[in-house]
């Protein structure tokens, strides 16, 4: 049994905030040149007051289903990767399930920060391979604008809001790396580094601001080495080489990290999907949004081998290999 990627969708809030607007609107001491040079980000989307992870996730899911030509009633599993859920409970995923009219089944949230979509893909793939689901929606949805300290230019300029979704369906194949679908997902975490990227406090905490805190240099120091290692792990597990990769769809955190990964994999820039300049870092939503963008532009063709990778708070990191 193999999990086939049947369709991709995305949703971005209407409001766009450019780098040069941040200083004027939020009183941040920064500039377009400072942000662009260090991150590659030029703008981000900010959720409207009534928009939530579930409403954006539902919109992205419906687009993915439409592109896949699959009715919502066929969906028996909904997984939402998010660090900014609508509420502590019920899960954001059950709200999406209800909003789109998904069929009988189950829904749950998954928290792995920026690596959340990779973890969610791995979970959905395992559920399909073991026969517990036949059609799964895997969604990354985030409203980071609501957990940012808008006085901290080291973090608030980096993030944006949005949602992306992928439809997975069960299919059969030869069981090797020539098959279409998800070949394998490889997940890691190291809790010793939990405090270098975290949210202060939460529903079960006795205190804290509820705002995001990040030691940017420390996160950057871990990023490329851990991402390169997990991509190599995925290739080795499937008997593939870097030269077999057609597309890199990375977590959109920082253009320097993205460029470094492209070089390590020997990929030209036109084989790396980049949306960080337009979306900023949308955490768990960044990879599915990039997939939806690439899909809409007709970049990824049938049979292409795609590697997706991410690193986030936890620290968590992982990679998925898939053939479209």
The residues annotated as belonging to the active site are 114, 251, 281
Distance CA 44, CA 282 (A): 9
Residue 195 CA neighbour count, 13 Å, CB half: 1
CB neighbour list of residue 94: distance below 8 Å, 6 or more residues apart: 78, 107, 108
Residue 280 CA neighbour count, 13 Å, CB half: 26
Q: Label the pairing between strands 161-171 and 212-214.
A: unpaired
**Cβ–Cβ under 8 Å, residues 109 and 86:** no
Distance CA 35, CA 90 (A): 37
CB neighbour list of residue 124: distance below 8 Å, 6 or more residues apart: 3, 77, 79, 133, 136, 138, 168
DSSP 8-class letter at 272: B
Residue whose C-alpha is closest to residue 80's, from 132, 116, 51, 125: 116
- Using left for φ > 0, alpha for ψ between -120 and 50, and beta otherwise, residue 208 falls in left
């Amino acid at each position: 049994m193999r999990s086939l990627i049947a369709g991709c969708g995305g949703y971005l809030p209407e409001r766009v905030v450019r780098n040069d607007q941040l200083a004027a609107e939020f009183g941040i001491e920064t500039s377009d040149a400072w942000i662009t040079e260090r991150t590659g980000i030029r703008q981000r989307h900010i959720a409207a007051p009534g928009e939530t992870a579930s409403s954006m996730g539902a919109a992205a899911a419906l687009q993915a289903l439409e592109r896949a030509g699959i009715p919502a009633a066929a969906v028996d599993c909904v997984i939402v990767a998010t660090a900014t859920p609508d509420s502590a409970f019920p899960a954001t995923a059950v709200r999406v399930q209800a909003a789109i009219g998904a069929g009988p089944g189950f829904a749950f949230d998954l928290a792995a920060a920026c690596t959340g979509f990779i973890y969610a893909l791995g979970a959905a793939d395992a559920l399909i391979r073991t026969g517990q689901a036949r059609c799964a929606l895997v969604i990354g949805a985030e409203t980071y604008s609501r957990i940012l300290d808008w006085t901290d230019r080291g973090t608030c300029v980096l993030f944006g809001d949005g949602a992306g979704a992928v439809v997975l369906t069960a299919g059969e194949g030869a069981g090797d790396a020539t098959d279409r679908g998800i070949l394998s997902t490889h997940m890691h975490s190291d809790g010793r580094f939990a405090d270098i990227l975290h949210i202060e406090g939460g529903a079960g905490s006795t205190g804290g601001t509820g705002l995001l805190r990040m030691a940017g240099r420390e996160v950057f120091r871990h990023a490329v080495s851990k991402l390169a290692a997990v991509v190599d792990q995925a290739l080795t597990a499937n008997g593939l080489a870097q030269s077999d990769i057609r597309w890199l769809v990375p977590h959109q955190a920082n253009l320097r990290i993205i460029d470094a990964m492209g070089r390590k994999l020997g990929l030209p820039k036109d084989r790396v999907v980049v949306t960080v300049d337009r979306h900023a870092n949308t955490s768990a939503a960044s990879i599915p949004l990039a997939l939806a963008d690439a899909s809409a532009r007709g970049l990824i063709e049938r049979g292409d081998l795609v590697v997706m990778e991410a690193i986030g708070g936890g620290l968590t990191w992982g990679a998925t290999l898939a053939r479209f």
